[in-house]
Chain A
Amino acid sequence: MDKEKLQRLWDLAPMFVEGTPHAKFLGFKFVAIEIGKATLSMPYSEKLIGNAQTKVLHGGVLTALLDQASGLAAVSSFKNIQPVATLDLRIDYMRTGTPGKTIIAEARAYKTTTHIAFVRAIAHEGDVDDPIASSQASFMTTASSRKSLGNPLERTKAVKNLPPAKPTTTERQS
């Protein structure tokens, strides 16, 4: 069952990133996913600079990247794959990023209850032991997804175009 969920996550996760307008806008790239874990990357871009003199990226860009990676880890950690909203996010900026370098964010949901996921994440430039920032966040499944019976993701246009995933088909038949 975990294998099927993992397959489904790999099918959905790239769209979770590309289907998020702000993630697309900032150039986030999907790297990898496991149940409760997600990795994203973000290439350096001049429009994301926070200080014109030093050319260092704006801290808010890291906030967005860590939020997105953590959210994806949270999504993957719930029993049913469903969208989430950020409740709170804490970030520690450990060192200044290097202008020109791609940033990698790795997130892990270390505890998930029925509707809440607690996630830690780290942002680095290739060496996990030399992070530029770390974060801790909590996420909640969104209200509309809790009210509806099915998985709201199934109704999005992007997902509709996909061939139906096997687990869902079996569920409907039974």
Chain B
Amino acid sequence: MTETLSLDAKVKQALDSMPYANTLAIRPILMGEDLTFVLPYSPDIIGNPMLKALHGGAIGAFLETAAIVGLGIVGDTLALPKPIGINIDYLRRGHPKDTYARAVISRLGSRVANVRVKAWQDSVRTPIAILHGNFLITKPQKK
């Protein structure tokens, strides 16, 4: 019998199985079915100390985490997909404050999924970065 997890539990389990997400202190905000992630500001994620701008790599890792978790929680059991290729557009400078992200699955195939993730700070209408990527779907291991 496969165990069915609640959305909350799946998101928590997905983030817990990703030590780096924990290193960046990424946490979820669940509002009904809408899943948003937060990357809390920390001096450790600064990329340009003069401009106090966030590091592109930290924003990239955050977007990728949102994509992986967003895909991983689809279905009854947890299965984290592996990235094949990602494309990130940096639209605005990341200011030293909390960043939010939400993933939208463009297509979910049996082997490959295409996901878009938007990251913003002040308003969802002024995103700071957008990721779109292809991910390899991994099947949960059979017992």
Q: Across the two chains, which residue of chain B brings its CB closest to A142?
A: B51
B20 with A60: CB separation less than 8 A: yes
- Interface positions, chain A 122-174, Cβ under 8 Å from B, are 142, 144, 152, 155-156
Partner of A59, one of B23, B58, B83, B89: B83
The smallest beta-carbon distance between B22 and chain A, in angstroms, is 8
Q: Does A89 contact B (CB under 8 A)?
A: yes
The answer to whether A50 and B45 touch (CB under 8 A), given A22-B55, A67-B60, A93-B82, is no
Residues from chain B with a CB closer than 8 A to the CB of A46 are 19
The answer to whether A60 and B23 touch (CB under 8 A), given A50-B18, A52-B18, is no
Q: Does B88 contact A (CB under 8 A)?
A: yes
Q: Across the two chains, which residue of chain A brings its CB closest to B84?
A: A93
- Interface positions, chain B 3-35, Cβ under 8 Å from A, are 16-23
Q: Of the 9-residue stretches A1-9, A29-37, A79-87, A113-121, which lies at the interface with chain B? A: A79-87
A83 with B48: CB separation less than 8 A: yes
Residues from chain B with a CB closer than 8 A to the CB of A63 are 56-57, 60-61, 64, 86, 88
Q: Count the A residues whose beta carbon is within 8 Å of the partner chain — how many?
A: 43
The smallest beta-carbon distance between B77 and chain A, in angstroms, is 14
Q: How far apart sit A89 and B56, CA to CA, in the bound complex (Å)?
A: 9
Partner of A53, one of B17, B53, B64, B68: B17
A-B contact list, 18 entries, CB within 8 Å: A20-B46, A21-B43, A25-B45, A50-B68, A53-B17, A58-B21, A58-B65, A60-B57, A60-B60, A63-B61, A63-B64, A66-B57, A83-B51, A85-B48, A85-B90, A87-B89, A90-B88, A142-B51
Which are the 9 A-B pairs with shortest beta-carbon distances? A60-B61, A64-B57, A22-B55, A58-B20, A63-B60, A86-B56, A25-B44, A49-B19, A21-B46
Question: Which residue numbers of A lie inside 8 Å of B, CB to CB?
Answer: 19-23, 25-26, 46-53, 57-61, 63-68, 71, 83, 85-93, 96, 142, 144, 152, 155-156
